[in-house]
Structure 1
């Protein structure tokens, strides 16, 4: 299979996992069958014959914090550690998982501790997924004493449609300098394509913006700031799904 095609397949598998994550965390998600589609990404078919389209996009930090040489070295070390943890885990398991690692910037993992961190983290993940139901969506957030020093949080998720494991460093696209502007940009880009989605003549269209962890350098009360902002869109509803907090943040509700 060509590399590009394989990457597209993995992307769709992750989208299926993410829309199920959203459904689990959002109590007002409509009851119905979620069907993978194109333009929009998913259609929810409800018993009353209504159809809801859901489009997914990832929050891209267009205004990313500039990385120093020291930060780049640390990023390379962390990504190698994540890769090694995945390899170690997969030597004893064929579980297909989506795993996100949020490293601490206060407690840096030294090269001397790399082996111990790797071993403890893999054992912890194995214990966390032991006995899970392979036929349904599963997710767990690990934090605090569950983790070796140097890691703040780890998100583990699984869905039966996920055929390839994806293990990543959290916020691997970068950390935003202006989260609100980046959210506006994400909405604007998808609003431009809404007329394409509307060709399916669905009853509603929702936009789901996913992000690993809403984090910014200068905004201490970032979640409050986002909630207090006025966002505009032609989608009926717009949400942010914060993966590491397992939290849905409604941004826009245009239901009449």
Structure 2
């Protein structure tokens, strides 16, 4: 297993821990989408992972370059993944989720993010979209 795949699996396991409605089933690493959760013989959930756009990386830590533009960063990230949705649909998942992750917000969000996120709308063909902060183990459903 490559380092990238190991990290993806760690991110997914944290998501599973934080999200109480994560379905039971066999988790299979895949490509496009990154994971399939086989709920039963006929039902598969597709989960695509991606890092939040608008970050710069140093010392293996992701930091937002312009935290005040977080909604634009989220929108750009979703748009980039939307371009590949036809690939994800080839596995015929009953639902397709997008998990956007960031290492840490570094307390740089100068507004109540949790209140604002509920007011933002991100049109998408993904059935559900989540944003996860790894360092503080926070998960937000954004669509």
Q: Is the 8 A contact 2:64 2:105 kept in 1?
A: no
Give 1:244's aligned residue: 135
Helix, strand or coil: the match of 1:178? Answer: helix
**Which whole-Å CA distance do the structure 2 matches of 1:23 and 1:9 have between them?**
21
Displacement of 1:12 in angstroms is: 1.1
- The structure whose Rg is larger is 1
**Which whole-Å CA distance do the structure 2 matches of 1:219 and 1:207 have between them?**
25
Unaligned runs of at least 5 residues, structure 1: 1-7, 65-74, 80-167
Displacement of 1:48 in angstroms is: 6.0
Which of these residues, 9, 17, 23, is aligned with residue 16 of structure 1?
9
1:1-256 equivalence runs, <5 A: 9-47=2-40, 49-61=42-54, 79=59, 168=60, 170-172=61-63, 174=65, 176-214=67-105, 217=108, 219-252=110-143
Q: Is the 8 A contact 1:241 1:247 kept in 2?
A: yes
**Which whole-Å CA distance do the structure 1 matches of 2:99 and 2:108 have between them?**
24
Q: Is the 8 A contact 2:34 2:47 kept in 1?
A: yes
Q: Is the 8 A contact 1:175 1:216 kept in 2?
A: no
Aligned length: 142
Task: Select the structure that is richer in helix.
Answer: 1
Q: CA offsets per residue over residues 113-137 of structure 1, 9 Å max, x none?
A: xxxxxxxxxxxxxxxxxxxxxxxxx
Task: Select the structure that is richer in strand.
Answer: 2
**Which whole-Å CA distance do the structure 1 matches of 2:44 and 2:101 have between them?**
22
**Which whole-Å CA distance do the structure 1 matches of 2:139 and 2:107 have between them?**
18
Structural RMSD (CA): 2.2
Q: Is the 8 A contact 2:45 2:94 kept in 1?
A: yes
Q: Is the 8 A contact 2:63 2:104 kept in 1?
A: no
Helix, strand or coil: the match of 1:214? Answer: coil
**Which whole-Å CA distance do the structure 2 matches of 1:248 and 1:177 have between them?**
19
